[in-house]
Amino acid sequence: MKHVRVGIVGFGTVGRATADIIAKHASLIERRSGVKLVVTAVCRRKPIPEAEAPEGARITTGWRELLDAPDVDVIVETMGGVDHSLQLLRGALEHGKPVVTANKKLLAEHGDELFALAVAKNLPIGFEASVAGGIPILRVIHESTAGDRLIALHGILNGTSNYILTQMESRSIDFDQALREAQLAGYAEADPTFDIDGQDARDKLCILARMAFGGRLDVNRIPTHGIRHVRSVDIRSAARLDRTIRLVASAEHSAHGLDLSVRPWMVSRRSMLAKVEDVNNAVFLVGDRLGTQMFYGRGAGGDATGAAVVSDLVEIARDLAAGRLSAKNVVGFLESRELELAPEPKPAGWYLRLTVNDEPGIIARVAEVLARERMNIDSVQQEPHSPKERLSLFFTVEPVSEPTIRRAVETINDFPFMVEPVLLLRME
């Protein structure tokens, strides 16, 4: 029986769950894979009480010493952040050690360098845990759709935003309260910007799109809108249209290139997107032959992320034992071509919420702006019982291009009766 010795750097939720799963499922892992995983070292800046450390593991505070430690075969990075973790992955690969990480920010920003290094060293980087937690979406894209051409992918990739949106809907609470509760429940950081403004979903979309469509992609080129400005009036308005709101990361092929975005969508309540509730994630893949596939599960949390880390460790351990480590899973990242983005996303229906200081003629003036851009109005609503000085008006319009709707929104935003800018959501 081959022992594969694991060093874990960072010992927060994910690090602990990883160590715990390795300990508790040791015999299951052995039986299935023929290798025994053992945590031999744990590294954390703040010292760890002896009692909390995995049995038999030594504890260190400096990650550098794991790089050439003879008792560590694989390094798991769970520190987060970009500076130290970049140095750690670089150092590990340079010292001939495979690595596993859940750090999507690191990979979205420095994937090119790290994957090139992995290939140069012929070593794997396991990063299944970096996107959609426990959902094995990267393996699915890499292996199972190997014989198919992907046309589109859509995902609910940020558990925090999804939790906030579903709580706002199911309990009729407003955004601020839902966010506070998410923070108390440990689903949102003290500074929630990264989750609620869409950057977390954007980083994950970057990784998914590169794997699915094969090419380089600057994460900053993905148009990103979060859910910060969604209010309970919008949830109620969606409900009246038999819809709900989801933060959707999407990538679609068109004749002109790839149409990428992260933004809130108003989706049918009967759609599968609407069924994804709380902190769950889902990814929809559309293949030329396979049609639409959906993969659903827990998107975050120590257990799901830890289980994904361990699935990578098992694969690496198997290959290590068989003497066949390789960088096989990073193909999509190594293509030198740049993914070509569509200059203009394809037309969509839109939802507009206006917050106005009521006066006669508002609907007429807004309708005139929309008419001037040749848009067809699909529905108009007014929030019942709202104060005259802060009245919510909702319009949905038939599919038009994004530049067209944005031009109209800019004109509307300039009207003196507008209390705050228009909220714009894409209709599914």
Q: Is 149 near a copy of itself (CB under 8 A)?
A: yes
Nearer to a copy of itself by Cβ, of 293 and 382: the residue is: 293
Our CB check for a copy of itself shows the closer of 308 and 370 to be: 308
Binding segment for a copy of itself among 75-83, 104-112, 202-210, 309-317 (CB under 8 A)?
309-317
Is there binding between residue 322 and a copy of itself (CB under 8 A)? yes
Asked if 307 is part of the footprint of a copy of itself (rule: CB under 8 A), the reply reads yes
Distance CA 408, CA 375 (A): 10
Whichever of 295 and 417 has its CB closer to a copy of itself, that residue is 295
User: Nearest-CA neighbor of 122 among 313, 319, 409?
Assistant: 319
Strands 35-43 and 348-356: unpaired
Active site residues: 204
Q: Rg for the chain (alpha carbons), in Å?
A: 24
What are the backbone dihedrals phi and psi of residue 216, each rounded to the nearest 5 degrees, phi first? -85, 150
Contacts of 9 (CB under 8 A, 6+ apart): 15, 43, 44, 63, 66, 75, 76, 77, 78, 79, 88
User: What region does 118 belong to: left with phi over 0, alpha with psi -120 to 50, or beta?
Assistant: alpha
Among 88, 245, 267, 308, binds a copy of itself (CB under 8 A): 308
Number of residues that bind a copy of itself (CB under 8 A): 57
Please say which residue, 308 or 375, places its beta carbon nearer to a copy of itself: 308
Q: Show the site string, 113-132: x = touches a copy of itself by CB under 8 A, - = not.
A: ---------------x----
Q: Return d(Cα 382, Cα 359) in angstroms, integer.
A: 13
Quote the tokens at residue 35: 């290798």
417 binds a copy of itself (CB under 8 A): no
Contact status: 31 vs a copy of itself (CB under 8 A): yes
Q: How far apart are CA 203 and CA 181, in angstroms?
A: 25
With respect to a copy of itself, which residue has the nearer C-beta, 155 or 332?
Answer: 332
Run of H or E residues at 350: strand 348-356
Give min distance, CB of 29 to a copy of itself, in A.
6
From the CB of 22, what's the least distance to a copy of itself, in Å? 8
Nearer to a copy of itself, 252 or 277 (CB): 277
Phi/psi region, residue 323 (left: phi>0; alpha: psi -120 to 50; beta: rest), is left
Closest CA to 74 of 92, 62, 50: 92
Site membership for a copy of itself, residue 295 (CB under 8 A): yes
Question: What is the DSSP annotation of 68-126?
Answer: T-TT-SEEEE---SSHHHHHHHHHHHHTT--EEE--HHHHHHHHHHHHHHHHHHT--EE
Strand partners, 381: 394
Instruction: Using CB under 8 A, pick the residue from 116, 239, 331, 363 that binds a copy of itself.
Output: 331
Instruction: Decide: is 38 part of the binding site for a copy of itself (CB under 8 A).
Output: no
Q: Three-state secondary structure along 31-62?
A: HHHCEEEEEEEEECCCCCCHHHCCCCCEEECC
**In this complex, which beta carbon is closest to a copy of itself, that of residue 145 or of residue 160?**
145
Residue 345 binds to a copy of itself (criterion: CB under 8 A): no
Position among 52, 68, 71, 143 found at the interface with a copy of itself (CB under 8 A): 143
- Give the span between the Cα atoms of 347 and 113, in whole angstroms: 36
CB of 248 to a copy of itself, least distance (A): 17
Q: Does 92 bind a copy of itself (CB under 8 A)?
A: no
The residue (of 178 and 283) whose beta carbon lies closer to a copy of itself is 283
**What is the nearest approach in angstroms of a copy of itself to the Cβ of residue 154?**
13
Q: Which of 43, 135, 238, 321 binds a copy of itself (CB under 8 A)?
A: 135
| Stretch of residues binding a copy of itself (CB under 8 A), selected from 89-97, 139-147, 157-165, 241-249 | 139-147
Return residues touching a copy of itself (CB under 8 A). 17, 21-22, 25, 28-29, 31-33, 128, 134-136, 139-140, 143-149, 214, 270, 272, 275, 287-298, 303-304, 306-311, 313-315, 318, 322, 324, 326, 328, 331-332, 335
